[in-house]
Protein backbone atom coordinates (compact mmCIF):
# COMPACT_ATOMS: atom_id res chain seq x y z
CA UNK A 1 0.00 0.00 0.00
CA UNK A 2 1.20 3.52 -0.80
CA UNK A 3 2.22 5.85 2.00
CA UNK A 4 -0.69 8.19 2.72
CA UNK A 5 0.88 10.00 5.66
CA UNK A 6 -0.55 13.50 6.00
CA UNK A 7 1.64 16.59 5.95
CA UNK A 8 5.15 15.16 5.96
CA UNK A 9 7.02 18.37 6.86
CA UNK A 10 9.57 18.31 4.01
CA UNK A 11 6.85 17.57 1.45
CA UNK A 12 4.68 20.42 2.78
CA UNK A 13 7.64 22.80 2.44
CA UNK A 14 8.39 21.55 -1.07
CA UNK A 15 4.79 22.14 -2.19
CA UNK A 16 4.66 25.52 -0.45
CA UNK A 17 7.81 26.58 -2.32
CA UNK A 18 6.47 25.59 -5.74
CA UNK A 19 3.17 27.32 -4.93
CA UNK A 20 5.02 30.53 -4.01
CA UNK A 21 7.02 30.29 -7.26
CA UNK A 22 3.71 30.01 -9.13
CA UNK A 23 2.27 33.03 -7.31
CA UNK A 24 5.29 35.20 -8.24
CA UNK A 25 4.98 34.03 -11.85
CA UNK A 26 1.32 35.13 -11.91
CA UNK A 27 2.23 38.69 -10.95
CA UNK A 28 5.21 38.80 -13.31
CA UNK A 29 3.31 37.03 -16.13
CA UNK A 30 6.12 34.52 -16.43
CA UNK A 31 4.34 32.21 -18.84
CA UNK A 32 7.23 29.73 -18.87
CA UNK A 33 6.95 29.16 -15.10
CA UNK A 34 3.14 29.15 -15.23
CA UNK A 35 3.18 26.54 -17.99
CA UNK A 36 5.83 24.49 -16.20
CA UNK A 37 3.57 24.41 -13.12
CA UNK A 38 0.71 22.69 -14.96
CA UNK A 39 0.46 19.14 -16.26
CA UNK A 40 0.74 19.22 -20.05
CA UNK A 41 -2.33 17.11 -20.67
CA UNK A 42 -5.77 17.44 -22.26
CA UNK A 43 -7.10 16.26 -18.87
CA UNK A 44 -5.85 19.29 -16.94
CA UNK A 45 -8.61 21.72 -15.89
CA UNK A 46 -8.38 25.31 -14.64
CA UNK A 47 -11.46 27.35 -13.82
CA UNK A 48 -10.34 30.97 -13.71
CA UNK A 49 -12.19 34.13 -12.74
CA UNK A 50 -13.32 34.76 -16.31
CA UNK A 51 -12.59 31.59 -18.23
CA UNK A 52 -12.70 27.82 -18.16
CA UNK A 53 -9.58 26.07 -19.38
CA UNK A 54 -10.03 22.47 -20.45
CA UNK A 55 -6.65 21.00 -21.28
CA UNK A 56 -3.18 22.47 -21.19
CA UNK A 57 -3.54 24.22 -24.59
CA UNK A 58 -6.56 26.28 -23.47
CA UNK A 59 -4.91 27.14 -20.16
CA UNK A 60 -1.75 28.27 -21.97
CA UNK A 61 -3.76 30.40 -24.43
CA UNK A 62 -5.38 32.28 -21.54
CA UNK A 63 -1.99 32.85 -19.87
CA UNK A 64 -0.59 34.39 -23.05
CA UNK A 65 -3.62 36.67 -23.48
CA UNK A 66 -3.73 37.88 -19.86
CA UNK A 67 -2.18 41.32 -19.26
CA UNK A 68 0.69 41.54 -16.75
CA UNK A 69 0.18 43.28 -13.44
CA UNK A 70 -0.47 42.77 -9.78
CA UNK A 71 -3.57 40.69 -10.40
CA UNK A 72 -6.56 40.51 -8.12
CA UNK A 73 -4.90 39.61 -4.82
CA UNK A 74 -4.64 42.50 -2.37
CA UNK A 75 -3.60 40.35 0.59
CA UNK A 76 -3.75 36.80 1.81
CA UNK A 77 -6.27 35.76 4.42
CA UNK A 78 -5.48 32.06 4.80
CA UNK A 79 -3.25 29.50 3.08
CA UNK A 80 -3.77 25.77 3.61
CA UNK A 81 -1.40 23.12 2.27
CA UNK A 82 -2.33 19.45 2.65
CA UNK A 83 -0.05 16.70 1.45
CA UNK A 84 -1.02 13.05 1.28
CA UNK A 85 2.04 10.85 1.12
CA UNK A 86 4.86 12.23 -1.01
CA UNK A 87 3.12 12.68 -4.36
CA UNK A 88 -0.28 14.35 -3.84
CA UNK A 89 -1.15 17.76 -2.44
CA UNK A 90 -3.88 20.38 -2.31
CA UNK A 91 -3.25 24.07 -1.85
CA UNK A 92 -6.10 26.40 -0.91
CA UNK A 93 -5.73 30.15 -0.63
CA UNK A 94 -8.29 32.66 0.60
CA UNK A 95 -7.48 36.26 -0.27
CA UNK A 96 -8.88 39.79 -0.28
CA UNK A 97 -9.71 40.90 -3.82
CA UNK A 98 -7.97 44.15 -4.72
CA UNK A 99 -10.32 47.15 -4.77
CA UNK A 100 -13.57 45.18 -4.44
CA UNK A 101 -15.67 43.98 -1.49
CA UNK A 102 -14.91 40.36 -2.37
CA UNK A 103 -12.99 37.42 -0.99
CA UNK A 104 -11.20 35.21 -3.49
CA UNK A 105 -10.73 31.48 -3.20
CA UNK A 106 -8.05 29.59 -5.09
CA UNK A 107 -7.57 25.84 -5.01
CA UNK A 108 -5.04 23.62 -6.73
CA UNK A 109 -4.45 19.88 -6.82
CA UNK A 110 -0.77 19.03 -7.30
CA UNK A 111 0.61 15.61 -8.27
CA UNK A 112 4.27 14.62 -8.38
CA UNK A 113 4.96 12.76 -11.62
CA UNK A 114 8.04 10.49 -11.73
CA UNK A 115 9.29 12.05 -14.98
CA UNK A 116 8.10 15.65 -14.58
CA UNK A 117 7.97 16.58 -10.88
CA UNK A 118 5.12 18.50 -9.25
CA UNK A 119 2.32 19.64 -11.58
CA UNK A 120 -1.13 21.16 -11.09
CA UNK A 121 -3.76 18.82 -12.52
CA UNK A 122 -6.81 20.88 -11.47
CA UNK A 123 -7.28 24.46 -10.30
CA UNK A 124 -10.17 26.76 -9.48
CA UNK A 125 -10.46 30.46 -8.68
CA UNK A 126 -13.69 32.12 -7.57
CA UNK A 127 -14.99 34.98 -5.42
CA UNK A 128 -17.67 35.58 -2.86
CA UNK A 129 -18.95 38.58 -0.92
CA UNK A 130 -16.77 39.66 2.02
CA UNK A 131 -19.80 39.22 4.24
CA UNK A 132 -21.42 35.91 3.35
CA UNK A 133 -25.14 35.97 2.74
CA UNK A 134 -26.83 33.62 5.18
CATH number at residue 78: 3.10.450.50
Q: What is the pLDDT of residue 134?
A: 65
State the Cα–Cα distance between residues 38 and 40, nearest whole angstrom: 6
Q: What is the mean pLDDT of the chain?
A: 94
Q: Would residue 103 count as lying in a domain? A: yes
pLDDT digits (tens, 9 = 90+) for 78-125: 999 999 999 999 999 999 999 999 999 999 999 999 999 999 999 999
pLDDT bucket at 69, cuts 50 / 70 / 90: confident
Domain hosting 104: range is 9-129
Residue in 14, 4, 39 with CA at minimum distance from that of residue 109: 39
Domain count of the chain?
1
Enumerate the H helices of the chain as residue ranges.
9-28, 31-37, 56-65
Q: Would residue 49 count as lying in a domain? A: yes
pTM over the 0.85 mark:
yes
Amino acid sequence: MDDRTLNIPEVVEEVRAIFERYEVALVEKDVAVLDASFWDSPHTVRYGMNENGYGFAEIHAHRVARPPGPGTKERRIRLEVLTIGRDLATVNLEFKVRGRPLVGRQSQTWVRFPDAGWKVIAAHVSTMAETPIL
